Amino acid sequence: MAYLQLNGLHKSFGDVKTIKGIDLAINKGEFIVFVGPSGCGKSTLLRLIAGLEAITEGSLVLDGRDITHTASSKRDLAMVFQSYALYPHMSVFENMSFALKLAKVEERVIQEKVMRAAHILNLTSYLKRTPKELSGGQRQRVAIGRAIVRSPKVFLFDEPLSNLDAALRGQTRIEIAKLHRDLGATTIYVTHDQVEAMTLADRVVVLRDGVIEQVGTPLELYDRPANQFVAQFIGTPQMNIIKVALLPELAALWGAAVASDGYVGLRPESIALKAVGAGQWVGKVELVEALGAETLVYVSLGSASAVPLVARQNSRTPLHVGDAVGVSVDVDAAHLFDAQGRITRTGVTADAAHI
């Protein structure tokens, strides 16, 4: 039986329905990431689990106990917010121990739990400092430590890295992954950043307009997306989507498998750039992003339609903006979609073919 079970959850604010029937089973010790665009309902869903919003319809069961109408303070969950929400006049130790003191936990136990959390988060030498004496990353670790000392059944993270700069986001993301591995705690993490979802999750839940589009491991979603929305949302740069009507010669590559009003999806790594005269098309280089270990080359195909594509290369390139270039695609790796964005054929990557 699932450790945390969401059964037909609905949430309405007046006449506006934001969560439209969510069914999800989460296993003990799993790291689940809710991901999706702004307004998809991921934070609202997390708040329903936390008890910060009342569930309009459906039920929520944690470890065999129905907590649908249980107060948030009684659900045995701990939440880490986007804002650190630390008490500015308290030390790190006092911030981390405050909830335990309110619960009248024995002082010896408080000391043990705070010191253990501080050790895990590399905060031992900062316990006497106040929040203003800490960096953004250290403040977020204090907020995480405040959750750890409570020893909850489930950790809830609501976009905890959004207020950090790029370097700190990467560093703190690694720390959260290590923390989950060390604690083995059930974790639900909300983000709009699909890179965080891909690197942290055991399973990713892709949401759109209050419903689940797909649930799976990061690579399942990347290799076998359920529809065009998931295909474009998962992956950086996002999948190239080409409308067949804009490039009719696509039909010759896939024959009857591709609909005349459908779409072809190609990952950037499935597109190869060659000398003019080689490949299926001739394109024009519009932009080159030299990232060091890899290069992203943006090209346009055709003259009237000017179909845009981005190709990923694992090497540096001599190409410049305005250069003509041959373009070829990995036919087997293409994903095909109908006019409504439903997948009709899933591409096979070279790696997947050898599994």
At 200, which amino acid appears? L
Residue 228 lies in a domain: no
Evaluate whether residue 233 is within a structural domain: no
**3 state DSSP class of 353:** helix
- The rounded mean pLDDT for the chain is 90
Q: Residue 140 domain-assigned?
A: yes
The verdict on 173 and 247 lying in the same domain is: no
Task: Tell me 236's DSSP state.
Answer: S
Using DSSP's 3-state secondary structure scheme, residue 198 falls into helix
**Is position 232 within any domain?**
no
Please name which of 204, 203, 206, 148 lies closest in space to residue 175, comparing C-alpha atoms: 148
Residue with tokens 């990713």: 204
Q: For the whole model, what pTM was predicted?
A: 0.89
Among 203, 173, 270, which residue's Cα sits nearest to residue 29?
203
pLDDT digits over 231-241, tens only? 999 998 999 99
Examine the pLDDT at 242 and tell me if it is beyond 60: yes
Into how many domains does the chain fold?
Answer: 2
Residue 62 lies in a domain: yes
- Mean pLDDT lowest among 141-145, 169-173, 255-259: 255-259
332 with 270, same domain: the answer is yes
Length of the chain equals 355
Contact 263, 341 (CB under 8 A): yes
198 & 85 share domain: yes
**Contact predicate 292/314, CB 8 Å:** no
Average pLDDT over residues 188-217: 94
pLDDT confidence tier of residue 340, bands split at 50, 70 and 90: very high
Q: Are 198 and 243 contained in the same domain? A: no
Among 223, 256, 287, give the residue marking a domain's end: 223
23/68 same-domain check: yes
341-351 pLDDT per residue, tens:
999 999 876 55
Task: Label the pairing between strands 263-266 and 335-337.
Answer: antiparallel
Is residue 230, in this structure, part of any structural domain at all? Answer: no
**By percentage, how much of the chain surpasses pLDDT 90?**
65
Asked if 251 and 332 sit in the same domain, the reply is yes
Find all residues with CB under 8 Å of 329, minimum gap 6, and list them. 253, 266, 270, 271, 272, 280
Last residue of a domain, one of 192, 223, 254: 223
Do 19 and 95 lie in one domain? The reply is: yes
Q: What is the pLDDT of residue 151?
A: 85
Please give the average per-residue pLDDT across 142-150, as a whole number: 89
Residue 29: CB atoms within 10 A of its CB come to 13
pLDDT digits (tens, 9 = 90+) for 299-335: 998 766 689 999 999 989 999 999 999 999 999 999 9
Q: For residues 142 and 95, is the Cβ–Cβ distance under 8 A?
A: yes
CATH number reported for the structural domain that contains residue 85 in this entry:
3.40.50.300
Regarding whether 334 and 283 lie in a shared domain, the answer is: yes
Report pLDDT for 255: 77
Q: What is residue 33's predicted lDDT score, i.e. its pLDDT?
A: 97
CB hemisphere CA count around 313 (13 angstroms): 17
Q: What is the dihedral of CA 161, 167, 173, 178, to 10 degrees?
A: -140
Q: Are residues 121 and 163 in the same domain?
A: yes
* Amino acid (1-letter code) at residue 66: D
Q: Is the pLDDT of residue 354 over 70?
A: no
Is the domain of 158 the same as that of 25? Answer: yes
Of residues 304, 287, 308, 305, the one with CA closest to residue 296: 287
Q: Give a yes or no: residue 314 inside a domain.
A: yes
CATH of the domain at 298: 2.40.50.140
Task: Provide the domain limits for residue 296.
Answer: 238-353
Residue 317 burial class via C-beta count within 10 angstroms: exposed 0-12, middle 13-18, buried 19 and up:
middle
DSSP assignment letter at 70 = S
Residue 167 scores a pLDDT above 60: yes
Contact 204, 213 (CB under 8 A): no
- For residues 250 and 181, membership in a common domain is answered with no
Q: 84 in a domain, yes or no?
A: yes
Q: Do 323 and 217 belong together in one domain?
A: no
Average pLDDT over residues 156-179: 83
pLDDT of the residue at 322:
93
**Residue range 51-76: average pLDDT?**
94
Per the CB < 8 A criterion, the answer to whether 11 and 193 are in contact is no
